[in-house]
Amino acid sequence: MAISGSYSAGDEITLNDASVQIRIGTGGSFVESNTWISTVSFEAQTRDTSTLRLLGASNVVGVSALGSGRATVTCVYTEGATDLFQNIYDEHTSPSNSSQVDILTEKNGATTGDDVFTSSGGKLVSCTPPSPSAEDSNAVTIEFVIEYASLGLTAKS
C-alpha cells in the first residue's frame, strides 16, 4: 500500500504501554525505568511519508527515521533515590541542565522484530513534578519533554 503526503510538523506517533530507558550524558548506557504505564509521544518536523511503515491494516506505527522533534514521556511516579523521576528532575533543576538526555523506547513485552525508537542529541526542556491528590484514586503521573536532534527506528534484535 503506497502512502502519499507528508508527516507534518505537529503530527505525533504515540506508544501506549511503552517501556522507557533513559540515558543522561553522552558516555553512559541506557537505564531501564522501574515504572509502569508509560506513554511516549513523538512529535516531529515535516517528514516525507514515503518511508512510513504500516502493520497490517492498523494506523501508521513507525517511520524509518525522523528529523528533529520532541518526545513527551508520561509515566507513573514512584518514589526512590534512583527513581526515573528523581534522575530526570535532578538534571532539570541543575544549574547548567547541560547534559544530553536521550530515550530508548519500545512497547512493553517487545519481541524480535518489534520497533525500537531511540532519540539522539536530546535536551531536557520540561519536567512536571507529581501532584498527588488524596481525592484521586488514579495513579500519580509525571511528565517530561525532550527535544531531540534525530529519532531513529530499528527492529528489536
Once rounded to an integer, what is the mean pLDDT over residues 89-117? 85
Task: Tell me what percent of the residues of the chain surpass a pLDDT of 70.
Answer: 73
Q: Which amino acid is at 105?
A: T
Q: What is the pLDDT of residue 150?
A: 86
Q: Take residue 64 and report the three cell numbers written for it.
A: 524509518
d(CA 126, CA 106): 22
Given this model, what pLDDT does residue 44 score? 66
Q: Where are the domains of the chain?
A: 6-155
Which SS3 state, helix, strand or coil, does residue 89 take? Answer: helix
Give phi and psi for 48, each to the nearest 5.
-65, 135
More confident residue, 66 or 43: 43
pTM exceeds 0.95 for this model: no
Which has more confidence, 63 or 14?
14
The pLDDT confidence band at residue 145, using thresholds 50, 70 and 90, is very high
Q: How far is CA 94 from the centre of its chain?
A: 21
Nearby residues of 3 by Cβ (< 8 Å), 6 or more positions away: 49, 50, 52, 54, 60
pLDDT of residue 75: 84
Please give the class, per CATH, of domain 6-155: mainly beta
Q: Give the pLDDT score at 58.
A: 43
User: What is the residue-averaged pLDDT of the chain?
Assistant: 74
Q: CB within 8 A of 129, min separation 6: which ones?
A: 85, 89, 142
Q: Which of 52, 69, 91 is nearest to 146 (CA)?
A: 69
